[in-house]
Amino acid sequence: MKNVWLIISLLAGMVACDAPEVGGITTSWPISSYNFGGMQGMPVQEQVALLRSSGYDGLILRVATPENFEELPQFLDETDQHADFTVHAAFVRYNFEESLRRERWIEVVDQIAHRNMQLWVIFGKKEAGYDDEFIEEKLREINDYALARGVEVILYPHSSTYYESVEEAAPMVQKIGSSNLKTALHLYHEVRAGNGHRIHEVIRGTLGLLGAVTLAGTDSVADYSSPLARDTSTIKPIGLGTFDVRAFLDTLQQYDYEGVLGVMNFSIKASPAEYLPHSRKLIKSYTSSDK
């Protein structure tokens, strides 16, 4: 009997040692990357190979130019070859002044239908004659079309557009009230909107509506002295910038965010072969139980 209790005690000790500490919960978020930052000129196969070797689980693709449309099926075909890698999302921009091109989302939905992918939609800069009523009607149309084809829709807040922050976008998502429609939180756009110092509050208030989260290394306050300064001050490789990215990820874990975690790399000048694996390793270290 004494031996039995000894074995039980040893097993209990092993379980206790493996249990993560509070504030150090190991996450299983799929980690994705935009294919910017030096990758956009690379062949599709090389982009996928680099991201897979760097530890990423998928891609986020912009579908805007004719070249983007041509590459989308190539990305889908290439990622179909790998069970451990996928295209998590394709994003489009609905620019009000583009009366024909703004409906390109239809073709994108048709291509990604029933592939467990998201369609991210950015409504462009504000224009006279386009108001909340128009947005609601169009977003309902997009969501209904996508829902019938097995595609989840994400309303994408973006600086200098109709919705610049997740708190601006969330009420429309809530009003439409479809389980297929959510919004996204982009750390760098929240910093640009002046929400960096209250990101905990932003996450807490919108969590039930979040379908995607993206981040980058960023300064705590955006530099608006020029468009270039705005971008470079808020989009850096993970590990650079004055904003506490570890605390941001801790908050997501605290509120049990479930979904893709995307890494933004727009206009990063460093070599993707260097910053991509380094950023991925830092995210893993930030979310590991071994803190």
The crossing angle, in degrees rounded to 10, of helices 44-53 and 66-79 is: 50
pLDDT per position as a tens digit, 159-177: 999 999 999 999 999 999 9
Structure token digits, residue 61:
């693709």
Q: Worst-scoring range by mean pLDDT, 2-16, 22-36, 132-146, 170-184?
A: 2-16
What's the whole-model pTM score? Answer: 0.89
Question: What would the mean pLDDT of 31-42 be, rounded to a whole number?
Answer: 96
Angstrom CA distances, 191 to 69, 196, 238, stand at 31, 4, 15
Does residue 98 contact residue 64 with C-beta atoms inside 8 Å? Answer: no
Of residues 287 and 212, more confidence is placed in: 212
pLDDT per position as a tens digit, 77-135: 999 999 999 999 999 999 999 988 899 999 999 999 999 999 999 999 999 999 999 99
Structure token digits, residue 259:
């979904």
Q: Mean pLDDT for the chain? A: 91
Structure token digits, residue 83:
């069970």
Does residue 214 contact residue 186 with C-beta atoms inside 8 Å? Answer: yes
